[in-house]
Amino acid sequence: MNKKLHFYALVLLVVVMFWGSNSAYAQQESQYTQYMYNTVTINPAYAGSRGVLSFNGLYRSQWVGLDGAPETMAFSANTPIGLGKVGLGLSFGNDKIGPSTETTVAADFSYTIKTNNDLKISFGLKGGFNSLNVDVNKLNPDQPLDPSLYNIDKVSAVVGVGFYIHNEKWYVGLSSPNVLETKYYDDVAVSTASEKAHIYLIGGYVFDLSRSVKFKPAVLTKAVVGAPLAIDLSANFLINEKFTLGAAYRFDAAVSALAGFQVSDNLMIGYAYDYDTTDLGNYNAGSHEIILRFELGTIVRRVVSPRFF
């Protein structure tokens, strides 16, 4: 492989950050420390499960201090329809990594079956599109006029599925927000870059430690072909239905501190800070994540009350 092809392969590696080539694939989709409040982005079956009209906005700045570090903005809205058997949702996500910008817009549909013991079993579908743009003009190549360097501007379909089962004390979800594989570059001389389907397994339980303190451990497991499992563990305390304090650990990657405040029955704000435990932590000031949730009552649940999930 000549010099210019070596450079282009390096550009692809840096740009997509979580992609891989040939048989090696790494984590590709956006990651969130406060996943317990942003479940609908990874599992369409979650849509409408809170019983109210719910709006969520999230901003994440990862690896602060590194040029071209990931920056994520996400917005979602979901609500039950009618008596709550059907849930609908809409989500928007934007990721910036170096010279690349990736935007995803998707709609969610869920259907819930209620059992006699207050258990709810939901199935969900997600559909939308993903747009990836790589602007090589933002790079500084050794050969600016290298003909092998060109912008990437690709739109692809998004099709996701999910399963979610819960009651007032615990939940378990299994999902893939996009089951389709998308190839972004394919050349006989340069390795193929593609986005693989991710599978998420999520679960949590709420313990009543006292009348004023609740404790919820939770876990999120992410799997993608060719990469090791990514496991996030978290433990949060809800105090007087107002304050949330907790910590999280992402195996072999980061430790996190989480805090939240229920400003009113309708509004919650949360913050998380990640400290990298890898060698990369020596070159950045950590990651910051802020989430806002605003909710309105519906015919299913007229009164909005704080919930862990």
Range 133-136 contact pairs with CB under 8 angstroms and sequence separation of 24 or more: 133/100, 133/101, 133/102, 134/15, 134/99, 134/100, 135/99, 135/100, 135/101, 136/11, 136/99
Distance CA 261, CA 25 (A): 38
Tell me the CATH number of domain 3-296, given options 3.40.50.720, 1.20.140.10, 1.10.10.10, 2.40.160.40.
Answer: 2.40.160.40
DSSP 74-137: EEEEEEEETTTTEEEEEEEEEEEETTEEEEEEEEEEEEEEE-TTS-EEEEEEEEEEEEEEE-GG
Tokens for 182?
A: 């998308």
Tokens for 181?
A: 């594989």
Contact 172, 166 (CB under 8 A): yes
- Residue 41 is predicted with a pLDDT of 92
- Residue 84 is predicted with a pLDDT of 80
Tokens 């649940």 correspond to 301
Q: In one letter, which amino acid is 92?
A: F
Distance CA 79, CA 89 (A): 6
Task: Please report, for residues 10, 59, 250, 292, the alpha-carbon distance to residue 243 in angstroms, rounded to integers and kept in the order given.
Answer: 45, 20, 23, 14
- Residue 227 is predicted with a pLDDT of 78
Contact 188, 208 (CB under 8 A): no
Task: Please report, for residues 23, 181, 222, 236, the alpha-carbon distance to residue 217 in angstroms, rounded to integers and kept in the order given.
Answer: 35, 33, 17, 6
**Model pTM greater than 0.75?**
yes
Domain parsing of the chain, residue ranges: 3-296
Per-residue pLDDT of the chain (309 residues; tens, 9 = 90+): 444 433 343 333 334 333 333 333 444 567 889 988 889 999 999 999 998 999 999 999 999 988 888 999 999 999 999 888 999 999 999 999 888 899 999 999 999 999 888 899 999 999 999 998 888 777 766 555 555 556 678 899 999 999 999 998 999 999 999 998 776 555 544 444 567 788 999 999 999 999 999 999 999 999 987 778 899 999 999 999 899 999 999 998 899 999 999 999 899 999 999 999 998 888 899 999 999 999 987 766 766 666 677
Question: How many Å is the Cα radius of gyration of the chain?
Answer: 20
CA atoms within 13 A on the CB side of 212: 4
- Residue 95 is predicted with a pLDDT of 93
